[in-house]
Structures are given as structure tokens and as C-alpha cells.
């Protein structure tokens, strides 16, 4: 099967699979204190600062929920976009597991802005109301759009001026770095981001996410939250091995560049087909397009992908590190055929 449904339909990058296989020797301490995980954490610190606290975790939902739990007390809320993964796609984990109230700010193209957040913080905030403590942004966003470096800086400066922290859901942060041509450090540390959910799985890993506390004080005691949060994987060396491979030789960046390139190619090729409308600027590895419903149904039989908006017929096509030129050619060939 070849799919444009999601970057997690892809398998594991061969370099990462090799690293997993190579880690499979001898006995090693469990629960994250093995030498491979230690080395992988060091690679993270090369990007996020020598004092950054790094915790490996199994799912992106866990990284988001547990970081936000750790940055809040029960009376605090988190400000996010109305289309944020944490509020739409995590089955109420923030509320049910962490007890957090999520407050939606109005967004344009899935992106928060100081203008959208300010009315929330300037409004009535008394004992009857949950007190915002964190602003959570997704880079790149759930709609495939990107915050510019300046936009992130502006949100961080504003948040800090109000005593709030900034969390970045970076499930696809590599794609964002590739698209903006900036380093992980420029995207986060230099902007003032306090904590990051770093996604490895969608970018070629098997099962590897990380909670990164760029502000190290905020990560104190998170080891308990991770354990209690059911995320302390016992044979952690295999997660460490994935990250070691991903962060070596710029694999994280090369994978992202590739998938972005494939998305651009897909948009370009498909966009030329009569009757296909590309609806969003293609900035990372997602392509949004409008095609007739009957074409969608037939095309999905060969290449799974999701309908984004049933009312308009807008569909979403995701590329990944494993998407090939052939995939795109065959997909577009089928699409063209069906559009006739």
C-alpha cells in the first residue's frame, strides 16, 4: 500500500531500524538510564541547550498532556487554537488526565497571535475563573501552516511579560525547520519557547517522542510525572537508539526536507490537473486540495487519504520521508485519469 493519509502510515527509516537492531545486544539498565538513551539525550542537548531536560515518551498525546500537566496547577488553563491537536484530537486527555481547561483563542489559518490571546488575558480573571498559565502553539500547525520566527518570538515575549509559559507541540517540527530553513535552536530556544513536544515518529521513527524542557527548572520532577503518566518505557534503549539515529547526520532534517519536497512536487503536479484546486499554500508536508467527491471515493481505494472538509470536498494529502517520486507520479496519474 502507498498512502497519502498521514505521515504515520509510513514505516521506519532504514537508518533508524538499523540503530534499533544494533542496540539489541547484551543487558542494559532499564527505565532510561542505559548508555544509548544517555547519548541520545546529549544529542538533544546539543540542539536545545546544555541544561535542557529531555524525557523520552511513547506518544505525542503523552508529550503534550504531561508537559502541560507539569506546567500547570489545577486552577490553571492553557490557551490554544480551536484546531489544536490537544483540543481536537486527543480524546479529552488534557481535561481527563491532567484536569486542564483549554481556552480557545480565535486563530487565522490555525495560528495564534498576540492579538487573539490578549483579550483573554485582559478580561475578567478573578477567583471564579481558571487562570491561564501556558500558551500552546503547534509548529507546523494542524492546518499545515507555519508560524514565522518573528511570530513565535512575539508570542513568547508576550507570554513571558504576562507570566505565562510557552509550549510548542512539535509533532512535525522537523518539517517546519526544513520549510523555514532554520535550526531547531532558532525555532525554539532563540524564540523563547519553554517546553517542546518533539516528534520523532512521524519523521521516520518507530515510536519515539520527547518532552523537552528548554527551561530546565520547569522539568524538575517530571520524571515522576512520566512514570505516573504511564510513559516510562522499560527497555528504553530502543527509543534512545531511534533518537540517536534521527539526530545523527542530520537525518531528522533530511527526512523532513524530503517529505516537504514531495509535498511541493505533489501540489505542483496535481495542481496542473484540470479541475483540481490546491487550496492552501504548501509550506511543509501537507497538501490541501478540492476535488469532486466521486473522484475522492475512487482515488481513496488505491491511495488512502482523508477528507478534510466534507462540506467543500477539501481533501488532505500528506507526504512523508518515504514518499517517492513514483508514488506521486502514480497518484497523479490515477487522479488525472479519474478527473476526466
Q: What residues numbered 26-65 form the site for its own copies, per CB under 8 A?
A: 26-31, 58-62, 65
Say if CB 104 and CB 134 are below 8 A apart. no
- Establish if 202 lies at the interface with its own copies (CB under 8 A): yes
For its own copies, give the closer residue by CB, 221 or 274: 221
Minimum distance between the CB of residue 159 and its own copies, rounded to whole angstroms?
19
For its own copies, give the closer residue by CB, 182 or 207: 207
Minimum distance between the CB of residue 11 and its own copies, rounded to whole angstroms?
5
Which region among 9-17, 133-141, 160-168, 189-197 touches its own copies (by CB under 8 A)?
Answer: 9-17
Minimum distance between the CB of residue 108 and its own copies, rounded to whole angstroms?
18
Minimum distance between the CB of residue 98 and its own copies, rounded to whole angstroms?
9
Q: Which helix H or strand E contains 125, and what residues bound it?
A: none
Nearest to 184 by CA among 172, 199, 174, 169: 174
Nearest to 133 by CA among 105, 155, 100, 104: 100
Cα separation, 340 vs 336, whole angstroms: 7
Which region among 8-16, 147-155, 270-278, 286-294 touches its own copies (by CB under 8 A)?
Answer: 8-16
Minimum distance between the CB of residue 183 and its own copies, rounded to whole angstroms?
26
Binding string, residues 285-304; x marks residues near its own copies by CB under 8 A: -------------------x
For 245, other C-beta atoms within 10 Å of its C-beta total: 28
Cα separation, 198 vs 181, whole angstroms: 18
Minimum distance between the CB of residue 254 and its own copies, rounded to whole angstroms?
18
* Long-range own/partner contacts, residues 88-97 (CB < 8 A, 24 or more apart): 88/142, 89/142, 90/61, 90/64, 90/65, 93/61, 93/64, 93/65, 94/64, 94/65, 94/68, 97/65, 97/69, 97/229
Cα separation, 139 vs 129, whole angstroms: 29
- Establish if 210 lies at the interface with its own copies (CB under 8 A): no
Cα separation, 197 vs 213, whole angstroms: 9
**Binder of its own copies out of 46, 88, 106, 249 (CB under 8 A):** 88
Which region among 84-92, 136-144, 253-261, 286-294 touches its own copies (by CB under 8 A)?
Answer: 84-92
Say if CB 129 and CB 122 are below 8 A apart. no
Task: Tell which positions 317-336 bind its own copies, by CB under 8 A.
Answer: 322
For its own copies, give the closer residue by CB, 192 or 229: 229
For its own copies, give the closer residue by CB, 76 or 269: 76
Binding string, residues 113-152; x marks residues near its own copies by CB under 8 A: --------------xxxxx---------------------
Say if CB 10 and CB 320 are below 8 A apart. yes
Alpha-carbon torsion (134, 137, 138, 143), positive or negative: positive
**Binder of its own copies out of 134, 166, 178, 232 (CB under 8 A):** 232
C-alpha distance from residue 43 to each of 54, 232, 246, 250, 317 (Å): 10, 20, 10, 11, 32
For its own copies, give the closer residue by CB, 30 or 183: 30
- Establish if 162 lies at the interface with its own copies (CB under 8 A): no
Cα separation, 205 vs 214, whole angstroms: 22
Q: Is 10 left (phi over 0), alpha (psi -120 to 50) or beta?
A: beta
For its own copies, give the closer residue by CB, 154 or 223: 223
Task: Tell which positions 64-83 bind its own copies, by CB under 8 A.
Answer: 65-66, 69, 73-77
Amino acid at each position: 500500500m502507498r498512502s497519502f493519509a498521514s505521515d504515520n502510515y509510513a514505516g521506519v527509516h532504514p537508518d533508524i531500524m538499523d540503530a534499533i537492531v544494533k542496540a539489541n545486544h547484551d543487558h542494559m539498565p532499564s527505565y532510561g538510564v542505559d548508555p544509548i538513551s544517555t547519548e541520545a539525550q546529549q544529542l538533544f542537548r546539543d540542539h536545545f541547550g546544555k541544561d535542557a531536560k529531555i524525557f523520552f515518551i511513547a506518544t505525542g498525546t503523552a508529550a503534550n498532556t504531561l508537559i502541560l500537566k507539569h506546567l500547570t496547577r489545577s486552577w490553571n488553563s492553557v490557551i490554544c487554537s480551536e484546531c489544536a491537536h490537544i483540543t481536537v484530537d486527543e480524546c479529552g486527555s488534557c481535561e481527563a488526565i491532567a484536569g486542564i481547561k483549554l481556552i480557545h483563542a480565535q486563530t487565522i489559518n490555525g495560528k495564534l497571535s498576540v492579538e487573539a490571546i490578549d483579550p483573554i488575558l485582559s478580561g475578567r480573571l478573578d477567583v471564579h475563573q481558571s487562570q491561564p498559565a501556558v500558551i500552546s502553539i503547534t509548529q507546523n500547525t494542524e492546518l499545515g501552516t507555519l508560524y514565522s520566527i518573528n511570530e513565535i518570538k512575539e508570542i513568547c515575549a508576550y507570554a513571558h511579560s504576562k507570566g505565562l509559559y510557552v509550549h510548542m507541540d512539535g509533532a512535525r517540527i522537523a518539517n517546519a525547520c526544513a520549510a523555514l530553513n532554520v535550526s531547531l535552536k532558532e525555532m525554539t530556544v532563540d524564540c523563547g519557547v519553554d517546553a517542546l513536544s518533539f516528534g520523532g515518529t512521524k519523521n521516520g521513527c518507530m515510536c519515539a517522542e520527547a518532552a523537552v524542557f528548554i527551561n530546565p527548572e520547569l522539568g524538575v520532577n517530571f520524571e515522576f510525572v512520566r512514570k505516573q503518566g504511564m510513559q516510562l518505557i522499560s527497555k528504553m534503549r530502543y527509543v534512545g537508539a531511534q533518537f540517536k539515529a534521527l539526530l545523527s547526520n542530520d537525518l531528522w532534517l533530511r527526512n523532513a526536507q524530503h517529505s516537504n519536497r514531495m509535498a511541493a512536487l505533489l501540489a505542483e503536479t496535481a495542481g496542473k490537473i484540470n479541475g483540481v484546486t490546491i487550496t492552501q499554500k504548501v509550506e511543509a508536508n501537507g497538501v490541501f486540495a478540492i476535488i469532486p467527491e466521486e473522484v475522492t471515493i475512487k482515488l481513496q481505494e488505491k491511495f488512502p487519504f482523508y477528507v478534510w472538509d466534507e462540506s467543500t470536498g477539501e481533501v488532505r494529502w500528506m507526504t512523508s520521508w518515504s514518499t517517492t517520486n513514483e508514488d506521486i507520479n502514480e497518484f497523479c496519474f490515477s487522479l488525472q485519469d479519474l478527473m476526466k
